[in-house]
Amino acid sequence: TDRKKLHTAPVGQVFRLRPFHVLVATGGGYAGYKKYENYKLEQLEKRGIEVPVKLASEWEVALYKSVPTRLLSRAWGRLNQVELPTWLRKPVYSLYIWTFGVNMKEAAVEDLHHYRNLSEFFRRKLKPQARPVCCVHSVISPSDGKILNFGQVKNCEVEQVKGVTYSLESFLGPRISTEEVHFSQAPSGNSFQQQLVTKEGNELYHCVIYLAPGDYHCFHSPTDWTVSHRRHFPGSLMSVNPGVARWIKELFCHNERVVLTGDWKHGFFSLTAVGATNVGSIRIYFDQDLHTNSPSYSKGSYNDFSFISNNNKEGIPMRKGEHLGEFNLGSTIVLIFEAPKDFKFNLKAGQKIRFGEALGSL
């Protein structure tokens, strides 16, 4: 007959389960299940019902980290760069606006057809009057977001959310050589926290701000300070959603992050941009050598870069409210700084805040 012969192969050759496929499928499914559980916990909290802290075990963290979030984030980043046809831009952006509650009336350019791709839309600028910078208080919010936690650093531990902490030294890394002049005032036997405090009578404070996908994605200088050093930690890109932050201890120490350290009028000051799923790209405007979410890295590694040189002996001066950097999607910013004991935060845990609003003052 004229019928063509159909050649078939054994089922085992057509579809062969590999350990990697099983691991990814299992890890992805479990991560989705935990996301749903976290959503239910958030709903209970909104009703005022206190939920006990339940931390992930080591195997749960390992399983979550087995999901190739870095690869997925790079793929998402490339997808964001694809130019959309003009006719498709408004439907795609409108869906995002509706899903995450974006206020486009604040955008410098409200016309959705202006944004050629998702990346441009995520990094949209605001109208100058949309975020007035507070001139009265000494520290302002560097970004839009939700306040997860704030207060004094105690016992070298920082709270990422209420009841869940991480190590200050693990988060910032070992002492920086360019800061030895500050540390020399403290005996070598002092704790890492005490070594950061440069002036007698001061305390160390922290503030954690979570940027949701619908928030303004740029971040600014929270005060007048000088940036002297950058430390980049390659790492995982797990979600930093408050539900996950409540579940995984030292989540911020696992994830990729960029730590900027320097000085302000009261001593030590640092701002850390923490990466997350689909936020592999962290950009610091004055740091052209920074490249985040590279395909490979050594576990536990980090790289340092000093902004102090023969030509620039003080570092990078930043004014309060000045543009500092940007994320490609929502993430987290952690401020850790030294201030006198009478420094007071003007915040409530869980409140929404916008760039330019006061965090605290003396």
Annotated active-site residue 141? The verdict is no
Identify the active-site residue in 141, 239, 281, 331.
Answer: 331
To which residue do tokens 């303004």 refer?
Answer: 216
Kind and range of the H or E run holding 259: strand 257-264
Cβ atoms within 10 Å of 123's Cβ, excluding its own? 17
Identify the active-site residue in 73, 144, 236, 266.
Answer: 144
Identify the active-site residue in 206, 220, 254, 266.
Answer: 220
Annotated active-site residue 291? The verdict is no
To which residue do tokens 């339940």 refer?
Answer: 54
Q: How far apart are CA 238 and CA 248, in angstroms?
A: 10
Nearest CA to 314 out of 233, 208, 220, 225 is that of 225
Annotated active-site residue 215? The verdict is no
- The single-letter DSSP state of residue 211 is P
Q: How far apart are CA 324 and CA 43, in angstroms?
A: 34
Q: How far apart are CA 57 and CA 53, in angstroms?
A: 13
- Residue 154: strand pairing partners: 157
Under 8 Å between Cβ of 56 and 64 = yes
Please report, to the nearest 10 degrees, the dihedral formed by the alpha carbons of residues 13, 19, 21, 23 taken in order.
160
Residues labelled as active-site residues: 144, 220, 331
